[in-house]
Amino acid sequence: DIMVTQTPLSLSVTPGQPASISCKSTQSLLHSDGKTYMYWYLQKPDQPPQLLIYEVSIRFSEVPERFSGSGSGTDFTLKISRVEAEDVGVYYCMQSVQFPYTFGQGTKLEIK
Amino acid sequence: QVQLQQWGAGLLKPSETLSLTCAVYGGSFTDYFWSWIRQSPGKGLEWIGEISYRGVTNYNPSLKSRVTMLADASKNQFSLTLTSVTAADTGVYYCARGGRPRIWGQGTPVTVSS
């Protein structure tokens, strides 16, 4: 299985400040179809995960522009340009280039 | 606006069979794969597998011997069966649209305890 490792595991951010989460995979996430299958989710308290970013950098429907994804190969980053109170929760990355799809351990973001 | 409504037994004894169903409201059932994911304190998020409306499946090898997924396009529903459960199968089970999940159901807590 492809392992994905997130850092940091927790993050405390002042509202209005940026935040960044890293995800590294043990194999390249570049598929033979030319797409790179890195997904980012946010799980708010007591809710299911919600998709933020797919295929490295494409924001899902209605996701605010302050969320952005970047990276290639095995190294990926989720950035929040200016953190808001509603961004609290646990962020997960997921690789879906190869079965079984696998998730990172999660990064808990809290507001200072 | 697509909505996924899931249900099933939430308390099982070891060796019993877990059965969950997910109904899809709004949107196409035949245009997507559908998946199951579970979340436990010990293992985090774990992708269980996916199924198409035609019944094409891909399972996580770690669960493959115990998992069956079925799809019923006439009802816009799909289901998960996991046999011989143990305490390690305790967690919240989610259904989702997409083999690469994009829209998630609310989750069904499942506890396996004697």
Residue range B67-108, pLDDT digits in tens: 999 999 999 999 999 999 999 999 999 999 999 999 999 999
Asked if residue A55 lies in contact with residue A37, where contact means CB atoms within 8 angstroms, the answer is yes
Q: Mark yes or no for CB contact A101/B47 under 8 Å.
A: yes
Cα–Cα distance measured from residue A32 to residue B14, given in angstroms and rounded to the nearest whole number: 42
When scoring A1, A52, A99 by the number of chain B Cβ atoms within 10 A, the one with the most, hence best to mutate, is A99
Terminus-to-terminus CA distance in chain B, angstroms?
Answer: 40
Residue B42 has pLDDT above 90, yes or no: no
Tens of pLDDT along A53-79?
999 999 999 999 999 999 999 999 999
